[in-house]
Amino acid sequence: MNTMTRNILILFVGLVLGVTISLGRIGLAERADAELAPLPLADLRVFTEVFEKIKNDYVETRTDKDLIEYAIGGMLSSLDPHSAFLNEEAFTELQVGTSGQFGGLGIEISMEDGFVKVVTPIDDTPAQRAGMKAGDLIIRLDDKTVKGLTLSEAVKVMRGEPGSDIVLTIVREGADKPLKITITRAIIKVTSVKSRSLDKGYGYVRITQFQSRTGDNLAEAISKLKDENDGLKGLVLDLRNNPGGVLNAAVSVSDAFIDKGLIVYTEGRTSDSDNKFHATSGDLIKGAPLIVLVNGGSASASEIVAGALQDHQRAVILGTQSFGKGSVQTILPMNNGTAIKITTARYYTPNGRSIQAEGIVPDIKVEPLKIAHTEKQLERIKEADLSGHLSNGNGRKEKKKSKSKDKKEIPLSEKDFQLYEALNLLKGMNLLHARMSQR
């Protein structure tokens, strides 16, 4: 490598590090908001030597562009699991991902110890239908070992033509050996908000992912539930397995139930990273009891909502401890069509709690239990079954025992125990409020 090339490379590395370099003079860089330390010239020389060795001696030819992108990618991925270099293709995919439709498997992932970790499978996607679970570690993609791949490289392998298959080899807690799961790729269309009535007067809203229109979609869903039930006596907000998304959407959802006060604030090293978000007047369910469901797949924006509602004592948080992603990533586009995703701040709940690596601890811990009934259960004899039993004396006709053998709908307690408990809690809160108001 000649002197001119070496100097140009040192200049490039200096610019990456955010310092000003003159080829004739290496000194202190000046920035408006901070004074930087002297440029580590000795380290930069090592970098250029390594660059030269790889370029000349590596078994396969690599272009200067490739090596420089590898260097930038390594620098960012070494910071934390959420910082990354985005080449032109990855940057485009990221922009598409917030629109609500994209191709792939339907899983939110991160890197952990060199392997791909499933944060959560997205509702109604191939990954969820194939049985992927939050916490699964992906160790192979078809025949390709994940170890050594960057997160963007792993995503690229998982993306593909709709209808094509990929075999994921995963390590799952509690499993004796790695599992192989075949998933058929598809166009992923994420419906951000889903809703239904649980019982007369009690609504259920599930947010699968926070997108740009999630706040508006939530308002529409609640309005529909009010019309169906002639008002709402309580609401369950389900954030389980919600990996997060757009920060402003999390603020809008929180604001839907909080009348005033701080929702969330962020703090970083620069003034641009320090922001505060406050609630505006108005509660969509007018103070009715609210239960928020969370679990280990609830991350980022989900935790912002749960933390805000918990700190304002506006909702009871029920379920299991959340994921614990309390950092903010900023996308910084570069001049050549690439971008970097870099962690710029931590976020805090209204009471100043950092969720990073800790998560939201539910007010009431309820594990996702499965209640199963045996096919044949011995029916217990009751008073009404005895021959010649006394009538109840209240003038009502006794209900005859149904002998229908029609297939019964699976009760909520068996389908979703956590939701069943949330509904019972809502009913109990309303019952207690009604009795207290009669005193």
List the one residue out of 109, 80, 90 whose CA is nearest residue 152. 90
Q: Which long-range contacts link 425-433 to residues 24+ away (Cβ below 8 Å)?
A: 425/291, 425/316, 425/318, 425/364, 426/202, 426/233, 426/234, 426/235, 426/236, 426/289, 426/291, 427/199, 427/202, 427/234, 429/234, 429/289, 430/233, 430/234, 430/289, 433/289
Residue 325 annotated as catalytic: yes
Determine the Cα angle at 311 with ends 433 and 362, to 5°. 80
Place of tokens 């109604």: 124
CB distance 348 to 265 below 8 Å: yes
Q: Which residue of the set 123, 136, 238, 311 is catalytic?
A: 311
Q: How deeply is 340 buried, as exposed, middle or buried, from its count of CB atoms within 10 A (0-12, 13-18, 19+)? A: buried
What is the distance between the alpha carbons of residues 100 and 214, in angstroms, rounded to a whole number?
10
* Residue linked to tokens 């901070």: 34
The DSSP call for residue 27 is -
| Ramachandran angles phi, psi of 427, nearest 5° | -65, -40
Known catalytic residue at 387:
no
Catalytic residue among 83, 252, 254, 325: 325
> Do the beta carbons of residue 96 and residue 212 sit within 8 Å?
no
Does residue 422 contact residue 318 with C-beta atoms inside 8 Å?
A: yes
From the list 300, 302, 322, 327, the catalytic residue is 300
Please report, as a single letter, which amino acid is at residue 24: G
The identity of residue 405, as a single letter, is K
SS3 per-residue string spanning 179-233: EEEEEECEEEECCCEEEEEEECCEEEEEECCECCCHHHHHHHHHHHHHHHHCCCC
Using CA atoms, how far residue 228 sits from 27, 217, 299, 401, 424, in Å, is: 70, 17, 31, 32, 20
Measured between its terminal Cα atoms, the distance across the chain in Å is 89
Write the CB contacts of 212 (distance below 8 Å, at least 6 apart in sequence). Answer: 98, 246, 248, 249
- Any catalytic annotation for residue 194? no
Sign of torsion over alpha carbons 146, 149, 152, 153: negative
Q: Which amino acid is at 424?
A: N
- The closest alpha carbon to 40, from 68, 13, 67, belongs to 13
Residues belonging to the active site: 300, 311, 325
